[in-house]
Each structure stands twice: as C-alpha cells, then as structure tokens.
Structure 1
Amino acid sequence: MDFNSHIFFLNSHVRVGSSVESNVYKTQLTGITRFWCFTHIFYLNCLLIATIIHLNDMQQPKLKKWLLGVKSIF
C-alpha cells in the first residue's frame, strides 16, 4: 500500500464515520478504541516496570546510570 492509497483509505473511513447511519457503529468503535488504548497503555506500563526491575538487578554501571535517568523522569 503506498502513501496515497493509505490516505484514500483513511478518508473513506472518515466519510463513513460521519454519516447518520453509522452512529451506532461509531459508538461501538469508540468503546473498542478506549478498551484497546487502556489495555495497551497498561501493558506498556507493566513492560516498563519489568524492564526497570530487570535493569536494577544487573550490576553494569552504564545500565545503572540509564536506570537512574529513567527513574528521575518519573
């Protein structure tokens, strides 16, 4: 799929979403999107925590330095 067909694909879906008949579909899609976002953000948070715990166990100074930098952000 090249860039132009990607844009056409997105535009056609936006047009479908703005029609009156698809309001129920749009509501269902919004719920699915919210659920998808929540689960993936939760997964990424768990992955970050697991990475921090893993790096904390390692004794390499470069990784420890990086870990302290990550902890200071949060």
Structure 2
Amino acid sequence: SCGLPCIVSKGGIGIIIDHIDGIVNEDENVDQIVSSIMHFYNNRSEIHRMGLNAYRNIQSNTWNSYAHGISKIYQKL
C-alpha cells in the first residue's frame, strides 16, 4: 500500500474492509465508483484515515507474515 485508500469491487479476495481502509463497490457499478471518488473528494480527512488503515492492513498481509503463519501451522502437526 502507498498509504492510500482503495476503491474496489466485491469480487476480490476481501482484504479491503468497507469504509475502514477503502470503499467496496458492487461489480461493474459505475455510479458507485463515481460516488466513492466523490466521497474522497468531499471528505479529504477520510483519505488520510483510510489510507493509514490500508497501510497497516497491508503490513499484516505480506508474504513473510503469510509464510510465518503457514510455518506455525506445520509446526503444530
């Protein structure tokens, strides 16, 4: 993450939490995408708040943290 909130569609893997670290829209809903962009335009403080949350979220979802989690699972076997 570059410290910016994301505008995504629901079809993804679900890392983005709606209105926490970005805005989740229905697939191919242009009106919702425009509304999301306007939300950030009209609420500049939300860019910083959600961007910071997005940065924190991605730090806990790195390949290293994933590998560490898998390693812990194997160690328990």
TM-score by length of 1: 0.46
The structure with higher relative contact order (CA 8 Å, sep 6+) is: 2
Structure number with larger C-alpha Rg: 1
Question: Which has a greater percent of helix?
Answer: 1
TM-score by length of 2: 0.45
Question: Which has a greater percent of strand?
Answer: 2
